[in-house]
Structure 1
Amino acid sequence: MPRRYDPERRERIVAAAARVLERRGINGLTHRAVAAEADVPLGSTTYHFDGGEALLLAALERVNSEWLEWFGRWVAEAGAAPSVADHVVTLLDDWTGPRRASAELVYGLYFAGLERPALRPLAARCVDEMVRLARPLAGDEAGARAFVGLVDGLLIQLLLTGGPHRPEETRAALARLLPGTGSRPRPGTG
């Protein structure tokens, strides 16, 4: 029986790997789980990805691509918001509320680079691209890097602690870091 050629199989496997990551996390990403999710034979996953790390890298590239596409749209929409600070407040509320699972996936993969050096270059490229995308909001590269660092830091703290988001603190932090993006602190409050 001749082998069937399926040019889209690799992409289906990568999409399935991203779904497995979202549901089971990094430790749940196995060739067997991905094959079942993609509805392909196990041999197909090992044919396209020779090891678990190769499969993880491909899934991470897809997750990063989706995240950066979303972030680019978010930056483009900032002009319609009353202020950059208000736009950041909405982002934090969204990513700690209805999109929390996606945020946990993105940051889980981001931090996986601490233990898996092969993931670091991909994580670094993601951060660099976020900085490039954020330049219109922050003026220059240094401001954009500070902006991305602040938003990342606030989101990580909220995800880890489960604490309440305090929009006024977010606005004040942005105003101090990048004047003109947030509300100014009132005299005697900062």
Structure 2
Amino acid sequence: MARRYDPHRRTRIIDAALSVIAADGIAGLSHRTVAAEADVPLGSTTYHFGSLDELLVAALRRCNENFVRTLRESEALAAGGEAEGAVRATGAAGSAGLADELTRLLGQWFAGERGAIELEYELYLAALRRPALRPVAAEWTEEAVELLSRRTDPGTARALVALMDGVCLQVLLAGGTFDAAYTREMLARIVAGGG
């Protein structure tokens, strides 16, 4: 029997892994559960991903793209200036604009499906116990810092990313709602302190 060419199989396997994790958590992830979800032979999952850590790395990398893509596509962040330190040059208005835009983006993210945010953070926090995931978790931080450094200095950008992470974790873990006014105020304080 001829082998069927399936150029999207690897992508379907990653999508299936994300579905399994969303439904059953990382504890429910196995090559078998992913193969069943993707409707592929078990051997396909092990062919593309020799270990569950390899599969988790691919899944986390896919999730990392979501918020970073949102940052990249923000016209307000791009419009702030391509050179590092643009906020210092634009003064208080630039500081407020950056805090406003980040608050808007977080609010938009939380307005979406909460399960998707929980999935992303479950994978992100899995790096605590799975060293193979740590470099991928760090990629998100570094890319976000790089993007925000276009509007402020790198130290302030790193503090902004840490605050956004903290706000997201508090909302998710406490089961609360996103408080845009509080978030904007805290982001503005960091931006003003760094400028």
Q: Which of 136, 143, 162 is matched with 1:149 structurally?
A: 162
Q: How many residues align?
A: 178
Greater RCO between the two (CA within 8 Å, min separation 6)? 2
Q: Which of 1-10 and 106-115 deviates more? A: 1-10
The letter of the residue matching 1:118 is A
Partner of 1:176: 189
The letter of the residue matching 1:96 is F
The letter of the residue matching 1:49 is F
Q: Which of 62-71 and 43-52 deviates more? A: 62-71
Q: Which of 119, 144, 165 is matched with 1:105 structurally?
A: 119
Counterpart contact for 1:134–1:144, Cα < 8 Å:
yes
Structure 1 residues 72-87: aligned runs within 5 Å: 72-74=72-74, 76-78=75-77, 83-87=97-101
Partner of 1:184: none
**Identity level (%):** 48
Partner of 1:35: 35
1:153 and 1:84, CA in 2 relative to 1: closer, same or farther beyond 3 A? same
Structure 2: 5+ residue runs without aligned partners? Answer: 81-95
Partner of 2:53: 53
1:116 aligns with 2:108: no
Deviation at 1:112, TM superposition (A): 0.6
Q: Could you tell me the TM-score, scaled by structure 1's length? A: 0.81
The letter of the residue matching 1:144 is A
Runs of 4+ in 1 over 6 A off after TM superposition: none
Partners of 1:167 and 1:12 in 2: how far apart? 36
Structure 1: 5+ residue runs without aligned partners? Answer: 182-190
Deviation digits for residues 1-42 of structure 1 (CA, Å, limit 9, x no counterpart): 232233332222122222322333212222122112221111
Provide the alpha-carbon RMSD of the alignment: 2.4
Partner of 1:185: none
Counterpart contact for 2:145–2:158, Cα < 8 Å:
yes
Answer 1 or 2: which has greater helix percent.
2
